[in-house]
Structure 1
Amino acid sequence: MSNIGGVLPVLTVPFMSDGSVDLDSIPRLVEHCVASKAHGVVIFGLASELYKLNDSERIDILKIVLAAANKRIPVIVGTEHSGTRAAVGRSVEAEKLGASALMLYPPTFVKPDEANVLSYFKAVGSAVKIPVIIQDAPAWTGVPLPVSLLSRIIKETPNVNYIKLESPPIGDKAKLLKAEGFNIIAGYGAIHLMEDLSSGIDGFMPGCGLPGIYVEINELFKSGDIEGAKKLHQSILPLLIFQLTSLDTLIEIQKLLLKKLQIFTTSYCREPHVPISAERIAYLNVLLKDIGLKELQGV
């Protein structure tokens, strides 16, 4: 399943109120995405609270996600690490377990120079046969990835041939990287989705709370109904802007939506976490009511 594209929701990891991983909710979340006709799922992205999981939990979660997907859709697995050797180990293990593709942002603890970024992605790409997605998110990582460097990476390691662009506007960079052979995935919470789709992206990674909406926008756009896609995107834009106040807010809102849908047992986020205030949750509920999302009707 090497064809990665379309709507690729980033799965949040459910926890019980005591902070333990809620393993029983994970298959329901995957099925939620499959039933919504998502084209794949991502586990261990930034919105997965990956930085709060130990290695044993990661393996348990990944096995459940893969079993729930049951090869019906691709499963993209985040395997980044601050150490190159450790990132290679995680990547090889994910491929053996059945990952369809990998996604990594560059090391962040020790800010790497271009030579170290190059050796990092070459080491991972050379160790696996599946596609590797580079996550270009300098606002989060503090590590810029210029086109000249990315061009060297894909030339020297051809299976590192996807890039997720997180710094809008992405159009100019996407065009340059397309010419270098990259497949383009858009991120940044789908706020700029219409502009991203117009720039010829191959796929995008939204939140997992309401994946069906993104599938509908994507299908409208691909069918030529640009105005219909724009109208639907504009209807949810207030929610997208609200939830991207911070990464913590984005994660918690996905969990609140999934709890409303009875997919998650709780909306608990592991510490450290800055929770949404009661006033902002009240505003969120008003926002959802005003938007009139059909997925939440009767919930």
Structure 2
Amino acid sequence: MSIKQYLDVLPEIQRALETNKPVVALESTILSHGMPYPENVGFAAEVEKVVRAEGAVPATTALIGGRIKVGLSPAELEIMCRAENVGKVSRRDMATYLAMRKNGATTVATTMICAAMAGVKVFATGGIGGVHRGGEVTMDVSADLQELKQTPVAVVCAGAKQILDIGRTLEYLETMGVPVLGNGTIDFPAFYCRKSGFGVDYAAKDEAEIAAIINTKRALGLEGGVLIANPIPEEYALDFDEMERVINAALAEADEKGVRGKEITPFLLAKIKQITKGVSFASNVQLAYHNARVAAKIAAELCKIS
């Protein structure tokens, strides 16, 4: 049985891969579970435009009707943005969703899997999941971290979401052997904020250097991905201490309402958006564009050397 039984790659993306042109994978959870309709339609169009402006081909991923989609048609994109009966799918859910022909939005972990199946080497997201606050007790650890350990896709992000325990998230990545590179920075960012109080493993000077590290890791046959920390542009960054106060208020409400598991992150992000009167949401959008731009540049540099 071949993976091709389940995999649909848009012809434009397949041609780009076959001719060594840069391709950037994009997730769909932000569309189905992170933004309202129709704002998410505009965001999807803009983020793809950002990727194309750097000479790369965007490849938004999703599970639709029992198929793994790498690249979406306009009709498929509409399905994900309307988000009617669209679940949030991580590694554990993939087989069930495909077998039952359910529609699912891809998380960081699932997007990495889809990208690797298609041969896409670089993926842009907002921020990765990680060890949740209190995770040493609850064992609430995102599947994103295990995926970074085992799946050979480079992930460009604005660090880990600030709602997480960033210190423990970085310790987990170190244990799993995942290199954390800073794009022109020694600081590991915290999603809305340029600094988290923690550092990266290596500060790369530019996208070409990042591509060289990715290429060398792949040539050595070392399993897993590379995490590229790309701080939010300064003009859109929020104050760390102020965001901590907002996050603590959101966490307290989540605890009071008993929100758990895969529902916790969407709940917290929505609550933070409400408390900040939409400022956090605007920052989220801008960091996503910035990550897509940098990912496209890295993908282009990779094509030059691989």
TM-score normalized by structure 1?
A: 0.38
Greater strand percent: which structure?
A: 2
